[in-house]
Amino acid sequence: MKGTQLTIDQPAIEQPDTVDDILEDWGRERPELDVTSIGVFGRLTRVVAKQRAIHTARYEKYGLTWASFDVLANLRRSGGPHGKTAGELAKSSMLTTGGITFRLDRMEEQSLIERVRTREDRRLVYARLTEHGKDMVDFVFDQHVQAQSEMLARLSTAEIDQLAMLLKKVELSITEYQQRQIDGPESE
């Protein structure tokens, strides 16, 4: 096996990774550019891809997808009676209303949710967790949280808190960038 064996004295963080190689390549090919942002976004992309693959494999064991788990978790954390409209679900997830409707159809077929119309306005339909859906999301969520904790095992509690705060700051910075792109150069 090629490569250096890691020891306690050589933690993985000190070993070059793929992103370090990419940064080195760009530094050589385009030294006039500051490509340090690739270190952040390259690693974020890789982290998310690995994390999603791990969770997706777990969800599939229970007949769920990433999106259906997201919807079930969204309903579960909403409190009793664990119901939201498709619009409310779309607003508090990363799916469109159409995407939510498609997922709700599938989850209804699996008896994970039921659709309930209100008496006040029959046009208003809530997706609600069934007992089976609640049991399923609770079971899978326990595993989800445990896996995420294990994935962060190399970080201390203080580092996890700091990373979460920094990622929040990154998202705010990206949101501001998006707004500047929408507003255009005339707003600057």
CATH number of the domain encompassing residue 92? 1.10.10.10
Q: Residues 66-124: pLDDT tens digits?
A: 999 999 999 999 988 889 998 999 988 877 888 888 899 999 999 999 999 888 877 88
Position 11 in a domain: no
Q: Return the CA Rg of the chain.
A: 22
Tell me which residue of 56, 61, 77, 87 sits closest to 129, measured CA to CA: 77
Q: How confident is the model at residue 173 (pLDDT cuts 50, 70, 90)?
A: very high
Q: How confident is the model at residue 9 (pLDDT cuts 50, 70, 90)?
A: very low
Domain membership of residue 34 as a residue range: 17-61
Whether residue 101 sits in one domain with residue 77: yes
Whether residue 148 sits in one domain with residue 82: yes
Whether residue 70 sits in one domain with residue 23: no
Position 79 in a domain: yes
Please, what is the average pLDDT of the chain? 90
Query: What number of H helices and E strands is found in the chain?
Result: 7, 3
Position 81 in a domain: yes
Whether residue 57 sits in one domain with residue 68: no
Measure Cα distances from 183 to 129, 171, 176, 178, 179 in Å.
40, 18, 10, 9, 6
Position 149 in a domain: yes
